[in-house]
Amino acid sequence: MAIKERRIVYKHVDEEGYSNDIDCYIKNGGYEVQKKAFEAKPEDLRQEVLNSGLRGRGGAGFPTGMKWKFLDFKSGKPIYLVCNADESEPGTYKDRQLLYQDPHQLIEGMMISAFAIGAKQSFIYIRGEFINGARILEAAIEEARAKNLVGDNILGSDYSCDLIVHRGAGAYICGEETGLIESLEGKRGYPRIKPPYFPAALGLYMCPTIVNNVETLCQVKHIIDMGGEEFSKIGVKGDSGTHIMGVSGLVQKPGYFEIEAGACTFGELLYDGCGGPLPGRKFKAVIPGGLSMKILKWGERFKGKHPNTGEDFDWGVEDIPLDSISMGLCGTALSTGGAIIMDDSVDMLEAMANINAFYAHESCGQCTPCREGSLWMNKLSTRMTSGHGREQDVPLLLDIADQIAGRTICAHGEAAAWPVQSAVPKFKDEYLDKIKKQANGERYNPAGFPLI
Amino acid sequence: MADSETKQVTINIDGVEHRVPDGLNLVDACEGVGVEIPHYCYHPKLSVAGNCRMCLVEMGMPMRDRATGEPVLDDAGAPKIGWMPKPAIACASKAMPGLHIKTKSDLTKECREGVMEFLLVNHPLDCPICDQAGECRLQEFATDYGRGFSRFVEEKNVKPKRTKLGPRVILDDERCILCSRCVRFCEEIDENPVLGFTERGSHSTLSCFPGKQLDSNYSLNTVDICPVGALTSTDFRFKMRVWFLKPTPSICTESSVGVNTEVWTREGKIYRITPRRNDAVNDTWMTDSGRSLYQQVEAENRMKSFRVDGNKASLGEAVQRVRELLTVGPVAYVASGHMSVEDQWMLRKLAEAEPGAIHFVYHTGEGDGRLISKDKTPNLRGGLLTGLIKGIPDAHLHSLRDKLEAGEIKTIVSFGEDIVKAGISPELIKKANLVYFGALRDDCTDYAKVLLPALTVFERSGSFVNQQFRLQKFSQIVPGPAGLLPTTALLARLIGEITGQPATAPSNPQMWREIAAAVPQFSGVEFAKIPTTGLELDSSAFATLPFVEEKGWHFEPVAEPAGAQSSHH
């Protein structure tokens, strides 16, 4: 049984015969919303976005309308709009489809947003590895500029705003909005301290700046199209719109699905959408929304009272509805929707070591806890997997993570700490079992699957 | 000064209310009321980086009812504090009314222990061979705020151990805690960005930009502000353990800026000079060139014995000979801005006892618009205030030369001024008798009838008046060579010979009682009470003089600088 999708931003993704050029886009009704939007007042557009209840799709889930509201309109300084296309969260690949297959949707969403916030200049900061993505975007911007949809006096109005594609150089941390801004300024991608450098007041070149995710900006187009009130009816209270769930890992059919928030459960996604576990395997753990979110263990139960319905719930992982509110109730977050699925063939300690290696490699090195803690966790978990683990390493690993989270300049601290903080209590026995077996010179392979 | 004008606000530190200046950085605000907030990357004169995370504290504000705006009270009727869920860095927070912080709570303590542990996991812990040991923030805070043991059993990172960043600075990258103070100094203060980090994460490595080196005349400030032993001074490296050194406040004599310094000594030997904070003069900085001035103490051309007609003589013989020469005929005194106020005062008294024309040599050169001014002496203004000169002197001794050529001068008494360099040929000098008070042999010493070796600024105490008309005192740091006396004592003895009064070397307080009574600008000044950061004097009487100094840090020239004129000399 197929999963019930509701495709809004992904409407034309993988559509037969749909190409990423402007003619195809216009043929499918493209840039009509921009024309409509340019006749409205910018403050009304901002109000629509606020009314929509859209939450940022870059991971943190901050309400987009609020973010725009915090923008310092009175400084007299130019306002910048930056699209964060540095999609580098492991497990996440939703923006890539939009950039490659439907770039004009992003451009239209951006120009509407730029007009709404009065941006003087807008940028797309695209991850360095998306080489073709950057080419596609540049070609698309040229097409849009030729049709007077980007650039000077857009659509004959007195509003001008150019759009520039800037390629990153491959650092994960440049997806953090202030790190991105530094990188865009040509500096080392060190995130800024907040306070005082909130982008809405002191962003790019110390001017008010809005940094939004690709999907968020694409959603803006649809909000303006259908109206904020209408958009807010999609999804659940506190999390409106759709989520693109990008499933990867050990399922029969990995892939992406645009689903109305809360319209189906994790189990439906994995079984109906992705065909369930590989033959003979059982699900063991899922990381629901990008690598840095807290891990869920297959079989654990989540109980409590749901704030939206007021009803008591008792869920397994498979029962969790796919919306930010429900995910939050289970101690994790839907975040980017990039779900990583692990089955019983996965050695959880190896998985942990792999995650730690990533964050140690990607820590920018600016602030102490993340810089030293992430590398320490990496060294520690690498040693644990290599047969030299000690029992006390397990609580030590957790303690190091506790010393990082909440004490760093940017959210990379949490990103590095959360997987450890969530996985260690849940898989502690397995770690200890492995350490003990390895100390006895045995190979560790509890489920008996062939080791890769 | 500015503090009394700043609005004071009440903040609550660990349950105790304190009055601190509004908007002041919390690290400084707490320090001002005696609460230490440990920090590495924060420096009062640099921008806030917030990267070391050592200053994390719990912060909160009194809660207010959203609807009414009224403060929310707890059961006891005290305002309820809304504590922030996460600790915040004090260095990026400012004092504001009602702010509450906890510097001793469990969370704060835990944060500090965590940061300390992290900072040390990849630190080589080579304190036994590290120059910073004894004045190292890592050692201090590890003792004060650390757990006292390590749980790290992995291999430490390996980084370059001795990178030559420039002619005077060597970097040990393994010790570096990446606080970025040096990077910010080069960018913000020196405005010569040459330092940056390469690599990422814990492997980040400080290095110079390609093709650049840290060769600015302010490079050693990076060594001063380095909280650990990463940046070391090539000159001081491996010379002496700092706990054996004694710092004594002094004044740099490089130029009329009068940079406040600390001179570090052990057993009569100077090992290094570092800047002393004075927010009105040099902040916390000084030049590299000023730091090497201590080398004059042990310079090869240092004069250590009294000489009369080229032969070694006793102090008594030398003074006696000077006395005789002063009576031969008309006398000319050559004073200098290198003399202290006290020296100049005693010269004035000598000139009163044995009248003669007073010449003064103005030493001008290139300034850097920062801490080196165009006047290369520390105390020209002392000469003005003590009345030795009435206006800006010449940079040469042409008037003295003319008088010598005319045979109008029989004896020249020079105080450390190389009169050959100032334009008087040896042939002319030979026409008269030269008496020379000076520390170092120079071009004119060979022609002196009497040589009276003087003490350097490090071997005596006294005071200078800098370009801002700020009276600053310096202390004796090391004993001078055996048998030498301060110039003031020599002059007192000479005056005694002339006047026939019993001569005792006057102490600084004694001289200052006379100076304060005689010079209106010095009225009320007591030597012992001159503050360590100096005393601003009334300079209105000299406001129209064309001093050469141009704009520098903390200095704005009053009159038009005479730079264009003096450059001809």
Q: What class is the A348-439 domain?
A: mainly alpha
Model confidence at A452: pLDDT above 80: no
Model confidence at B562: pLDDT above 80: no
User: Between chain A and chain B, how many beta carbons pairs sit less than 8 Å apart?
Assistant: 97
Average pLDDT over residues B398-410: 93
Q: Percent of chain A having pLDDT more than 90?
A: 95
Contacts of A277 (CB under 8 A, 6+ apart): A250, A251, A252, A270, A283, A343
Contacts of A366 in chain B (CB under 8 A): 51, 178
Asked if A81 and A114 count as a contact pair (C-beta separation under 8 A), the reply is yes
Task: Determine the 3-state secondary structure of B290 from DSSP.
Answer: helix
Average pLDDT over residues B324-337: 94
Out of A196, A369, A406, the one facing B115 most closely (by C-beta) is A369
* β-strand partners of B486: none
pLDDT at A364: 96
Average pLDDT over residues B473-500: 94
Cβ separation A367–B200 shorter than 8 A: no
Contacts of A403 in chain B (CB under 8 A): 110, 114-115, 117-118
Contacts of A375 in chain B (CB under 8 A): 122, 157, 201-203
pLDDT, tens digit (0-9, with 9 covering 90-100), for B113-160: 999 999 999 999 999 999 999 999 999 999 999 999 999 999 999 999
Model confidence at B568: pLDDT above 80: no
- CATH number belonging to domain A245-343: 3.10.20.600
Q: Percent of chain B having pLDDT more than 90?
A: 92
Contacts of B121 in chain A (CB under 8 A): 372, 376
Closest chain A residue to B50, measured at CA: A193
pLDDT at B289: 96
Determine which of B42, B53, B58 to mutate to test the interface with A (most A C-beta atoms within 10 Å): B53
Nearest Cα of chain A lies from the Cα of B56 at a distance, in angstroms, of 8
Out of B56, B85, B202, the one facing A371 most closely (by C-beta) is B202
pLDDT, tens digit (0-9, with 9 covering 90-100), for B435-450: 999 999 999 999 999 9
- pLDDT classification of A293: cutoffs 50, 70, 90: very high
Same fold yes or no, A245-343 and A348-439: no
pLDDT at A451: 64
Model confidence at A282: pLDDT above 60: yes
pLDDT at B564: 45
3-state secondary structure chain A: CCCCCCCCCCCCCCCCCCCCCHHHHHHCCCCHHHHHHCCCCHHHHHHHHHHHCCECCCCCCCEHHHHHHCCCCCCCCCCEEEEEECCCCCCCCHHHHHHHHCHHHHHHHHHHHHHHHCCCEEEEEECCCCHHHHHHHHHHHHHHHHCCCCECCHHHCCCCEEEEEEECCCCHHHHCHHHHHHHHCCCCCCCCCCCCCCHHHHCHHHCCEEEEEHHHHHHHHHHHHHCHHHHHCCEECCEECEEEEEEEECCCCCEEEEEECCCCEHHHHHHHHCCCCCCCCCEEEEECCCCCCCCEECCCCEEEECCCCCCEEEECHHHCECCHHHHHHCCCCCCCCEEEEEECCCCHHHHHHHHHHHHHHHCCCCCHHHHHHHHHHHHHHHHHHHHHCCCCHHHHHHHHHHHHCCCCCCCHHHHHHHHHHHHHHHHHHHHHHHHHHHHCCCCCCCCCCCCC
Model confidence at B4: pLDDT above 60: no
Cβ separation B115–A373 shorter than 8 A: no
Q: What class is the A22-233 domain?
A: alpha beta
pLDDT, tens digit (0-9, with 9 covering 90-100), for A100-127: 999 999 999 999 999 999 999 999 999 9
Quick one: tokens of B117? 């542990």
Q: How far apart are CA B479 and CA B476, in angstroms?
A: 7
pLDDT, tens digit (0-9, with 9 covering 90-100), for A157-198: 999 999 999 999 999 999 999 999 999 999 999 999 999 999
Q: Say if pTM beats, i.e. exceeds, 0.80.
A: yes
Q: In chain A, where are the structural domains located?
A: 22-233, 245-343, 348-439
Nearest Cα of chain B lies from the Cα of A400 at a distance, in angstroms, of 8
ipTM: 0.94
CB contact A415 to B (< 8 Å): no
